[in-house]
Structure 1
Amino acid sequence: MSRKKIGLLVMAYGTPYKKEDIIPYYTAIRHGRKPSDKQIDNLARRYEAIGGVSPLARLTRDQADALAEQLNAAQVDYEFHAYLGLKYIHPFIEDAVTQMRSDGIEQAVSLALAPHYSRFSVQSYIDRAQAKARELGGITIASIKSWFDQPQFIHFWKQAVLRAFEDISESERNQTVVLFTAHSLPEKIIKNGDPYPEQIKETAEAIVHAAEIKHYAQAWQSAGKTPDPWLGPDVLDQIRALHKKEEYRHFIFCPIGFVAEHLEVLYDNDQECRALVESLGANYHRPQMPDTDPLFIDALSSAVLNVCRSHLFLAAK
């Protein structure tokens, strides 16, 4: 008996593929308003600082392919076909839904490569996918809102943190702080009861408990340049405060809101945060990101299979 085809819509933020993509990419982020020459030069400089282009495009595709492979190996009833839909660069979310429909897909699951739900971020991915599905007709999409509490995701970060501690001498581990970070969002989301800040907190606390971390803190990074206040404390301010109060000798950075090596990690963390930490006479550590680690792909696979079962795509095993 042949397997039933299920679409797997993997959604992500997107990144420029080459230098020429920076202007249209940045313009899309700014809702059609072209950035100034100064803004373009600043972003281009940041990409140059990490090698000219972000590895995110390749890693996102690799994650989608690895997830489809894992799902198809995990059960025998359904055949998952991966489609990549990006928010700010091609292939756009709408392009992916259109391609699924053209390929004869009638049922699909969507998952954003962002562990934590916010109406400001993940919901915008879901809305675009669902709107295109309604417009086309003949295809239904079961959308996963969050997967931050998948045990394998927590276990990945537990192992990552413990490996980072192995590089620190026993005598200095008590002078080490683990700093959990995630992308900041406008403060106004709190007034609207958005679960994003609480989900970040729950993730950090779950990792702390699993890895038995003694000293830890949380901060926000990569805030947008807008007049509205964004969630804080900012990661650079938090580094200064922690060092002033406790004089930590080691800072282990865990960007738990991100799932791959990309600009916010390779530049904001590995260059800006590292420079500040080292200027204070301390040491910077940052574990490998999830990328295509089997534990991480397992976490995504479990989230997809759970939603399939709840939508009766798959019979519970």
Structure 2
Amino acid sequence: MTRPVVGVLVMAYGTPNRREEILPYYTHIRRGRPPTPELLQELTERYDAIGGVSQLNRISRAQAEAVLRVLQAEAPEADWRLYVANKHWEPWIPDAVARMAADGIERAVGVVLAPQGSRLSSGEYFEQVDQALAKLERPFWFARIPSWHLEPDFIAAQVELVQEALSRFPEEEPEVLFTCHSLPARILEWDDPYPVHLREMGEEIAQRAGLARVHFAYQSAGRTPEPWLGPDVKEKVAELAREGVRAVLVAPVGFVADNLEILYDLDIELKQAAAAMGVRVERTRMLNDHPGLARALARVVLRAVQGAL
């Protein structure tokens, strides 16, 4: 009996792979508006500070391949075909959808490498998928996973990382601060689930890790005139410092990989700002190649295609 073929589209944010790609990457993020020379220099210096470029594309590919291995092991009745694409850099999402069609894929599922959902985060990835599908002569069946922020294996992995990080504070109990990437505050007008998802993740992790008190903040807001979700992580650390707190553990649960927003915004910028306030800041390790992430994603993929196999 022929096994059903199922395409799995794993989507990530994307990052430039080399220095000369920073300008077109930044222009794409800005929806086709080139940055000023000053903004370009600032972003280039941030990449220089973390070693030249981010390894996000490599990590995202490895994460996707780990998901494929779990699917092959746990659901061998299907022939799983992996496709990896980015929102802001090569390989592009529309190109991946076109390749899936050219490969004869008739059933597929898409998932974004970010646990929480929002019209302005995961929603934009699936908008690109829908636009690409609409251009096909014969669009294929495509299941969407808008969020997976409370998936048990994901939560268990985050609990493990929090407990591991707490061991770095043998003589003091830090305040724990959960973060995700900020978004324009206009999402609050749409009853968008994004802020709720951040709080649900943090509260579930805190309960399982036995944390008595936790805080929430946003980070890495964009450079636009409109207001973004807050409080910003630096503002929250400053507030805690005024209350006499001297140790903070940041758990950036809205991210699943080392990237510029982690390696620069938290490890360099936030730590320097916190040190000036007399506050020690540490953060949890990112999931990267954690097997719990692969299991979590494989299981949401399996649920999404139930009945289509």
Q: Which TM-score band applies after superposition, normalised by the shorter structure?
A: over 0.9
Secondary structure of the residue aligned to 1:167 is: coil
Question: For residues 230 and 282 of structure 1, what CA distance do their matches in structure 2 show?
Answer: 25
Task: Quote the Cα distance in structure 2 between the aligned partners of 1:39 and 1:283.
Answer: 29
Which range moved further: 134-143 or 265-274? 134-143
Give the gaps of 5 or more residues in structure 1: none
Asked if the contact 1:56–1:262 (Cα under 8 Å) also holds between the matched residues in 2, the reply is: yes
Do residues 214 (structure 1) and 215 (structure 2) align?
A: no
8 Å CA contact 1:179–1:251 kept in 2: the answer is yes
- Identify the residue that residue 93 of structure 1 maps to in structure 2: 93
Tell me the CA shift for residue 256 of structure 1: 0.8
Among 193, 196, 199, the alignment partner of 1:195 is 193
Q: Secondary structure at the match of 2:135?
A: helix
Matches within 5 A, 1:160-171: 160-169=161-170, 171=171
1:117 matched to which residue of 2? 117
Q: CA deviation at 1:90?
A: 1.2
Q: CA offset at residue 134 of structure 1?
A: 2.6
The answer as to whether partners of 2:155 and 2:204 remain within 8 angstroms in 1 is: yes
Aligned pairs, number: 308
**Alignment partners' CA distance in 1, 2:134 and 2:264:** 39
* Aligned residue type for 1:207: I
How far apart are the structure 2 equivalents of 1:5 and 1:22? 37
2:292 aligned to 295, 298, 303, which one?
Answer: 295
CA deviation after TM superposition for structure 1 residue 25, in Å: 0.6
CA distance in 2, matches of 1:97, 1:5: 15
Is the Cα contact below 8 Å between 1:55 and 1:262 reproduced in 2?
Answer: yes
* Residue identity matched to 2:275: E
1: distance between equivalents of 2:134 and 2:77?
A: 26
Alignment of 1:25-104 (within 5 A): 25-104=25-104
Cα distance per residue 1:91-150 (max 9 Å; x no partner): 110000011111111111000111111011211111111221232124221111000010
Which TM-score applies when normalising by structure 2? 0.97
Judge conservation of contact 1:180–1:218 (CA < 8 Å) in 2.
yes
Output the CA distance in 2 between the equivalents of 1:22 and 1:138.
Answer: 34
Superposed CA RMSD in Å reads 1.1
Tell me the secondary structure at the aligned position of residue 164 of structure 2: helix
The alpha carbon displacement at 1:241 in A equals 0.3
1:276 maps to which residue? Answer: 273
Q: Give the percent of matched residue pairs that are identical in Structure 1 and Structure 2.
A: 41
CA distance in 1, matches of 2:222, 2:128: 22
Q: Which amino acid aligns with 1:94?
A: P
Counterpart secondary structure, 1:178: strand
Aligned to 2:260: 263
* Correspondence for 1:254: 251
Matched residue type, 1:285: E
Find the residue that maps to 1:172 and give its secondary structure: coil
- In 2, Cα distance between equivalents of 1:139 and 1:292: 31
**One-letter amino acid matched to 1:250:** A
Tell me if structure 2 keeps the 8 A contact 1:133–1:140.
no
In the alignment, structure 2 segments of 5+ residues that lack a partner are: none
2:177 aligns to what SS in structure 1? Answer: strand
